[in-house]
Amino acid sequence: MTKPNVVPLAVAAAFGAGLAICSKYVLKLQKKKPLRVLITGAAGQIGYALAPQVAVGSMLGADQPIILHLLDVEPAKNALEGLRMELVDGAYPLLEGVLTFTDVAAACKGVDVAVMVGGYPRKAGEERKDVMAKNVSIYQQQASALEANASKDVKVVVVANPANTNALILAENAPSIPRENITCLTRLDHNRALGQVAERTGSHVGSVKNVIIWGNHSSTQYPDVNHGTVAGKPIRAVVNDDTWLNGDFITTVQQRGAAIIKARGLSSALSAANAVCNHVRDWVRGTPSGSWTSMGVVSDGSYGVQRGLVYSYPVTCSGGKWKVVQGLPIDGPSRERLRVTEAELVEERDLALQCLAEKK
């Protein structure tokens, strides 16, 4: 009598169990309502890097189905279609649909997350006021479209520079969207600070926590390590070089974008896309216990910053809400850096409001 073939039976049992687990996972995905994610300026470098990261779950999680809304201007229509084709060819399990638009109102219909990458970049020979006026016009239109068409709890992150002031313009022109739902991206600067400390100390970047980016997403921003740690020890103690931390570290983070343009001839795209996903993921799914991140949010007056400015603070996130970390001691030199970057934001705000007034 032939002995039962035990190994194939065991393999079959394991295979069956695996199929059952996969089936449950697929059913779970099918039961979860897809979220609609808008990317403006989607045919550009950042959009090209960002869309697949959203599609694989880097932004909203590996269990969240997605429908992408990709928006760009009419001249970019063919490039936008090419991106849509590549996303279809990627066969991403989470991606339930890819829609392309050149009309902003249609693109905003029902979106749950809006990533505002599109904007007017400053060109050689252009005055700041001219650039600001163009961005005021763009963000007025996009604010109106979001307010009229997006989900009532839409979460907005502005990436296009000047990011803080573009977010302020959007907030001013979309009064029915809760102010706390309009943010700008300083997570890229935050990640750059983490990377610099990790590289300097020879540590894994995951062991570096609680750096802060204060203020504007510009060369006046203040990358602050005074409350941060490396493997649980104060950054200043581990680095053991205050001259570097108070000098080259700060300027390297402040000017990293320009350094990347000089090195590759193009602006940051991959790291910016990753930072957008980090920003939204922490906002929606929560920051890890004991950690904070940096986000540009509408100031409530915390740390003496003027109310209403879109200012980067340390925040924790839980239940889809952010909260400014309160009570951190701020030394004299740090206080002055917070004031300098605030002053720049006040200047930008006043210029933007002047442009708004002139349009009326």
Binding residues for substrate: 122, 128, 161, 192
Reference 337, options 233, 259, 249, 278; nearest CA is: 249
55 sits in the region (left: phi over 0; alpha: psi -120 to 50; else beta) called alpha
41 sits in the region (left: phi over 0; alpha: psi -120 to 50; else beta) called left
- Return the number of other C-beta atoms located less than 10 Å from residue 267's C-beta: 15
Contact 213, 203 (CB under 8 A): no
Residues 6+ apart with CB under 8 A from 247: none
Annotation: binding site: 41-47, 72, 122, 128, 135, 159-161, 192
60 sits in the region (left: phi over 0; alpha: psi -120 to 50; else beta) called alpha
The tokens describing 102, both together, are 């050149």
CA 257, 280, 259 angle in degrees (round to 5)?
Answer: 5
Contact 330, 338 (CB under 8 A): yes
DSSP summary character for residue 32: S
C-alpha dihedral, 182 to 185 to 187 to 193, nearest 10°:
-140
For the chain, give percent helix, strand, coil, nearest 5.
50, 15, 30
279 tagged catalytic = no
Annotation: binding site for NAD(+): 41-47, 72, 135, 159-161
The one catalytic residue in 69, 190, 217, 279 is 217
Instruction: Output the furthest CA–CA distance in the chain (Å, rounded).
Output: 96
Known catalytic residues are 217
